[in-house]
Structure 1
Amino acid sequence: MIRFDNMPPEVMQAMCTPMHQILPPSSSHSHHPHLGALYLGSLAAAQDAPLLRSQGISHIVSVLDSPWAPSPSHLEREGFSVYKIEVGDDASVDLRPFLEAVCANIEGMRRMGRGVLVHCQQGVSRSAAIVIAYLIAHQAMSYDTALTLVRRKRACVRPNSGFVRALQEWEGVVRSGGTGGQRPPIDRRFTN
């Protein structure tokens, strides 16, 4: 349960904002003429079809457990595609089995030019962990860099301790060239 006493004002404001843009749409990549934007948010954002449309979001990654997990059919009837992961926000939950597939799904949708919202109940732990995993795998960020970026965009982000461990392990897997979205960064040196 999230406590609101002693919360900094920017965290309280972020909690009351349904979603935040993490990565803007991009048209500067030579290999991909247009990448859709990436958003992180709450269940309230995922249920607001006009808001989603106004931001160019057409794909939703839902990271919820029952009974919170709504049927994706109402979103699909509204024209949105939905990728669903049923996990609880508990430090004992192992996110690692989901990371490769969900990161590939997000990257595929962005490469198609589709805006993507990743959400959980409050947009604080589960969905934030998925967005951080994506940034590690497909934006070649370290865990610390990804967490800093996501918190700068959505101040209330607080992945639980089990998710933090899984993300740190995920970073190691991606960096070693194992599963994940990219190979480790190449050390490029320029000479005259």
Structure 2
Amino acid sequence: MTTPPCPLLAQAVGQPSVHGLSQITSSLYISNGVEASNELMLSTNHITTVINVSVEVANACFEGIQYVHVPVVDAPTTHLYDFFDPIADHIHSVEMKQGRTLLHCAAGVSRSATLCLAYLMKYHSMPLLDAYLWTKLCRPIIRPNIGFWEQLIHYEFKLFGKNTVHMISSPVGMIPDIYEKRSV
């Protein structure tokens, strides 16, 4: 992986985290649903917006925090693509107001990671491969489901007119080629 193309990203991340909040940029974090309901963790990290990308996790609704709900399940057939632009735009608008966003799903592995990748592609001009490698560096447990990968690949082509990740056939079915090229 090369150095992130955005100076904001280069100085944003702390230590990689699989527990607690994983900082992706200076204004974007990913976590699981349990951490998203930890008021001390939210206030310590100056979170102003929480985006819940799940049906199974209820919002805690703490005072002074804006909540957005994207009620979707983590299934390859779930159409998350329609949320890529609105959620990326919302994360960007929070950042422009000097706020911080926490993006979470149940485990902080698939749905929230997928929307994070879409945001990095749109607002940090990162190709999908770089966005994935960067986010995986910050939160090693991410693993979008196969349906979300297909949608991300389509979105990357829409944004940049080319793809850095492709779906390939494997003994377990279609997978993104990055899983075959690297042991990530």
Q: Normalising by structure 2, report the TM-score.
A: 0.76
- 2:95 aligned partner, one-letter code: R
Matched, 1:158 2:158: no
Q: Runs of 4 or more off by more than 3 Å in structure 1? A: none
Residue 78 of structure 1: how far off its partner (Å): 2.1
Secondary structure of 1:172 counterpart: helix
Residue 112 of structure 1: how far off its partner (Å): 0.5
In the alignment, the residues of structure 1 paired with residue 73 and residue 49 of structure 2 have an alpha-carbon distance, to the nearest angstrom, of 21
Say if 1:60 and 1:116, in contact at 8 Å, map to a contact too: yes
In the alignment, the residues of structure 1 paired with residue 73 and residue 20 of structure 2 have an alpha-carbon distance, to the nearest angstrom, of 20
In structure 1, the partner of 2:157 is: 172
Secondary structure of 1:117 counterpart: strand
Residue 92 of structure 1: how far off its partner (Å): 0.8
Deviations 1:40-74 (A, max 9, x none): 11101210011111011110111002xx131x4x4
Secondary structure of 2:48 counterpart: strand
In structure 2, the partner of 1:6 is: none
Residue 14 of structure 1: how far off its partner (Å): 4.5
Say if 2:52 and 2:103, in contact at 8 Å, map to a contact too: yes
- 2:50 aligned partner, one-letter code: I
Q: Normalising by structure 1, report the TM-score.
A: 0.73
Counterpart pick for 2:40 among 39, 50, 71: 50
Matched, 1:78 2:78: no
**Unaligned residue ranges in structure 1 (runs of 5+):** 1-12, 25-36, 177-192
Say if 1:49 and 1:78, in contact at 8 Å, map to a contact too: no
**Unaligned residue ranges in structure 2 (runs of 5+):** 1-15, 162-184
Matched, 1:128 2:113: yes
In the alignment, the residues of structure 2 paired with residue 54 and residue 97 of structure 1 have an alpha-carbon distance, to the nearest angstrom, of 32
In structure 1, the partner of 2:93 is: 108
Q: CA RMSD in A?
A: 1.4
- 2:53 aligned partner, one-letter code: V
Counterpart pick for 2:51 among 45, 55, 61: 61
Residue 98 of structure 1: how far off its partner (Å): 1.1
Identity %: 25
- 1:48 aligned partner, one-letter code: N
Secondary structure of 1:64 counterpart: coil
- 2:73 aligned partner, one-letter code: G
Deviations 1:60-102 (A, max 9, x none): 111002xx131x4x41x42210111011000111111111111
In structure 1, the partner of 2:21 is: 19
Secondary structure of 1:82 counterpart: strand
In the alignment, the residues of structure 2 paired with residue 110 and residue 130 of structure 1 have an alpha-carbon distance, to the nearest angstrom, of 16
- 1:23 aligned partner, one-letter code: T
